[in-house]
Amino acid sequence: MKNKKTILVTGGAGFIGSNYLNKFVPKYKDYLFINVDILTYAANLDNLKISSLDNYRFEKVDIRDIKNLEKVFVKYNPTDIINFAAETHVDFSIKNPNIFIETNINGTNNLLILAKEYKINRFHQISTDEVYGQLKTRKGKFKETDNLNPSSPYSASKAAADLLVKAYNKTFGLNTVITRSSNNYGPNQDISKLIPKFITNLLDNKKVPLYAKGDNIRDWIYVEDNIDAIDLVFHKGRTGEIYNIGSGCEKSNLEITKTLLDLLKKNEGFIENVPDRPGHDFRYALNINKIQNELGWRPKYNFENAIKKTIKFYKNL
């Protein structure tokens, strides 16, 4: 049987990419999914529960290596691309900006070059709310039309990638969509990130390193809500458009920490306040009217239930 689509999914062994593949490889049996991942510290093939399915393939390839990347295009002739692949840890980008430039900008450009050459039907770029910069007060939310004002090498590299995607749409007519999500949490997230790091530290009776007073605010979205929105935008989003994906669940890092302490039956003596990181944005929040009004998407998970599911996942590792 000829596959209806052959989707090249980059970064499919990472956090969000693996959750996407675990849900949609079984759902779309007439699609062939090609997982392209170089398997950095944040990726793990054990994250994938669908490796034995007939409509899934894995290729260990670095998106920075356009020659080997093109071999995947020649081998599979993909019809679509969803680009999850990225270096994402802000702290690491402060220590070593170069790999973020190489992966997030040059790697994305390699994919765009090949998407254009091989006449890809749709290029879906996975981005972040951090490209907008920070909201300095508790008021207001970012819209898709707001200016980009990134603060870290990570967010600057993602903003640059978004602009490249938009340029390929306008200049070359490439069918593109971009989704920008708020802070994800859930299964398969690398333990260098805040929620899994704090959960695993507390499970091991270790203190949790909280930046400054923990006042920084994020909109937290359960990863399954994000991948459902991504799937919807991939199939029905308008070409050339950007869609924000958020949950409206704004919590400070201190609130997150106290929730985890409570659920894991620890006291506040487990909090270790550490010096703030350079350029730490105060608040992110997304206006999601566009994806709600155009595509009818709404988040399904509430934080209270989803954080318990997340803790259970890390307990069972």
Q: Which residues are catalytic?
A: 129-130, 154
List the end-to-end C-alpha distance of the chain, in Å, as a whole number: 38
Computed on alpha carbons and rounded to an integer, the radius of gyration of the chain in Å comes to 19
In Å, what is the CA distance from 236 to each residue of 98, 103, 127, 129, 200?
Answer: 35, 28, 18, 21, 38
What backbone torsions phi and psi does residue 251 show, to the nearest 5 degrees?
Answer: -145, 145
Angle at alpha carbon of residue 261, lines to 257 and 263, rounded to 5°: 115
Structure tokens at 231: 């799937």
Q: How far is CA 4 from CA 29, 74, 80, in A?
A: 9, 18, 11
